[in-house]
Chain A
Amino acid sequence: NAGVTQTPKFQVLKTGQSMTLQCAQDMNHNSMYWYRQDPGMGLRLIYYSASEGTTDKGEVPNGYNVSRLNKREFSLRLESAAPSQTSVYFCASRAGTANYGYTFGSGTRLTVV
């Protein structure tokens, strides 16, 4: 019963470095999402993928790219990390219809110095 698995759990980057956050779900969900959580701001949507082969921007996409590698996997890439990208990143998935709740991963705590 793995659900949504995110790696790594923690990461420290230097400004300008790049990295990819990995996310995989084993529930056969169509939709996958990347959120960032910052104190006092709730969760903000970075990118989402409504189905395999499609990706779309959310509220705060600047500085990020995504890849929906297959139905299970949805990765988030920071090409040139900035201190403003210090945050906790959550991947989530959802079954096909919009009235289902999300299943979240346990998060990646990223610090950019």
Chain B
Amino acid sequence: AQSVAQPEDQVNVAEGNPLTVKCTYSVSGNPYLFWYVQYPNRGLQFLLKYITGDNLVKGSYGFEAEFNKSQTSFHLKKPSALVSDSALYFCAVRDPSGGYQKVTFGTGTKLQVIP
């Protein structure tokens, strides 16, 4: 069975500081990994994905994520946080060796960027 964990319910960071939102996963095969962002009263928006290749992937709004196979992690990062980055962030994983449609979402991490 595949699973994904976001160990922090909330992350607070000062504007201009680097931010990290953590995600770890468990799959039996090689994972497909995704990050989504949800602003208040909106649906989730796709940020970035890792399928294969370079372990550092870049996405929308200046975000990037680093895939670490040995630590089974896929942490979301941004060099300099903006107040507008405040939102709910979800990590998701799919095991390609499993069901075609099976994507598991984490429980979400609320990012608060303090002016």
| A42 close to B107 (CB less than 8 A) | yes
> Inside 8 A of A99's CB, which chain B residues have their CB?
32, 49, 51
Q: A56 and B46 in contact (CB under 8 A), knowing A42-B90, A42-B108? A: no
Q: A90 and B101 in contact (CB under 8 A), knowing A42-B108, A98-B32, A98-B94? A: no
| B43 close to A105 (CB less than 8 A) | yes
Tell me whether B41 is interfacial, beta carbon within 8 Å.
yes
| B101 close to A56 (CB less than 8 A) | yes
In the complex, the chain A residue whose C-beta lies closest to that of B35 is: A101
- The dominant DSSP class at the A interface is strand
Q: Mark B76-103, 1 if CB is under 8 A from A, else 0.
A: 0000000000000010001010001111
> Inside 8 A of A56's CB, which chain B residues have their CB?
101
| A107 close to B49 (CB less than 8 A) | no
Tell me whether A78 is interfacial, beta carbon within 8 Å.
no
> Inside 8 A of B41's CB, which chain A residues have their CB?
106-107
Q: Mark B47-90, 1 if CB is under 8 A from A, else 0.
A: 00101000000000000000000000000000000000000001
Tell me the complex Cα distance, A48–B102, Å.
10
In the complex, the chain B residue whose C-beta lies closest to that of A58 is: B101
Q: A98 and B49 in contact (CB under 8 A), knowing A42-B105, A43-B105, A106-B43? A: no
Tell me the complex Cα distance, A99–B46, Å.
12
Q: Mark A21-59, 1 if CB is under 8 A from B, else 0.
A: 000000000010101000011111100101000001010
Q: A103 and B46 in contact (CB under 8 A), knowing A42-B106, A42-B108, A98-B32? A: yes
The winner among B43, B45, B90, B103 for most chain A CB atoms within 10 A is B43
| A106 close to B101 (CB less than 8 A) | no
In the complex, the chain B residue whose C-beta lies closest to that of A107 is: B43
> Inside 8 A of B34's CB, which chain A residues have their CB?
101
In the complex, the chain B residue whose C-beta lies closest to that of A41 is: B107
| B46 close to A101 (CB less than 8 A) | yes
Q: A104 and B45 in contact (CB under 8 A), knowing A42-B105, A50-B100? A: yes
| A104 close to B100 (CB less than 8 A) | no
